[in-house]
Chain A
């Protein structure tokens, strides 16, 4: 049996303990003098006129969509990368076609201005 994952099983809950212990300690050791002025969100010295939870520019969605496309591509590349010696030139050709289609998509997005930030 492969036991090489057991440390990971313990590391994750133990890693959760560290920040929780620190937060508890800071709540025990720290002073508690809340005041109205202290808990106003910082906005360069003025009281915030509106909530910050507003709409945000559409270009961030565009980045997210492009990310999804190319991240899925990376997901396909990873299994190929460990097994491509067995797959030989045939696997290489298939992967080249797959990448060529994606590069076409990238070129299209580029030409349409999807990669411009302003």
Chain B
């Protein structure tokens, strides 16, 4: 499937479309979260700029651009500036393989899911880079916790993502969605492993994108702002952007892998995919504004002692299910 006849031109235009979409999504994810948090706390949230504060993200972007690019004197200057650049590339590029509807995809290669998982696990490198280059104790502690958490939670995440791969027999996200046709969403069917894998995927995604209750790397009350302590202005904005994109991708992947993607009762299409993604996204923020965070030791023991064995059991259970069917 190529638009414009020429595959190179098609690739270029798709790249531009995906990235513009990604920037829009990231900007409005921030607006959505602010509005959602405000409503939960019985206050109006952004209202001044545009209707219901809809232009607020653009105003914020312009404001951040006009801030001084500040680097602490003891920081490792090249690394300090490189980290926020690298941290946005991975989530931006991941969006290229996330389909939002039949045909609504930048590219649907046969290893789509593997590509998405690989890129999202690359996030840990620039985060560690930022923490180390800041030469700040809070940032370094935050970075160490972030690295330990990201690599630990990656294993249950991979195991949970294996369940839909086993059930559908493909890495291509389009095939995984097609395998859930007729309401056989993997979160509902097979009854046991599917649902548990969905919960596991959701919780480990929360941890991977450093969301409460797993936001130990940021932990404002003990680490000031964790990795981003020394970052301000636009370079902080880039890390913030990457975090929101990462959360959005996690919700989109959960909707695609376990909730049937763009399929739903009534006509299939992008509206179902958007509805499911936004619902999961809202759930993440609902949790964020309702729950407390875990301690660092609880975080690690949940991962290694509960999530990892559970993931292994789920992989085996779904393999047995497919063999017996």
Contact = CB atoms under 8 A, between A and B. Distances in A.
A101 interface: no
B2 to A, nearest CB: 6
Nearest to A117: B297
Given A60-B147, A81-B166, A92-B319, A26 B65 contact: yes
Interface residues on A, range: 35 or more
B154 interface: yes
A10 B162 contact: no
Main secondary structure of the interface of B (DSSP, over half): helix
A8 B107 contact: yes
Contact of B155 (A6, A71, A88): A71
B209 interface: no
Interface string B134-171: 11111110001001100110110011001001100111
B14 interface: yes
B300 A3 contact: no
A78 B161 CA distance: 10
Interface in A2-37: 2-12, 14-16, 18-20, 22-23, 25-27, 29-34, 36
Interface string B52-66: 000000000000111
A3 B107 CA distance: 9
A29 B66 contact: yes
Interface of A: 2-12, 14-16, 18-20, 22-23, 25-27, 29-34, 36, 38-44, 48, 51-53, 56, 60, 63-64, 66-67, 70-71, 74, 77-78, 81-82, 84-85, 88-89, 92, 95-96, 99, 103, 106, 110, 115-118
10 contacts: A7-B11, A7-B15, A8-B109, A11-B93, A14-B15, A19-B84, A19-B88, A23-B85, A74-B158, A85-B322
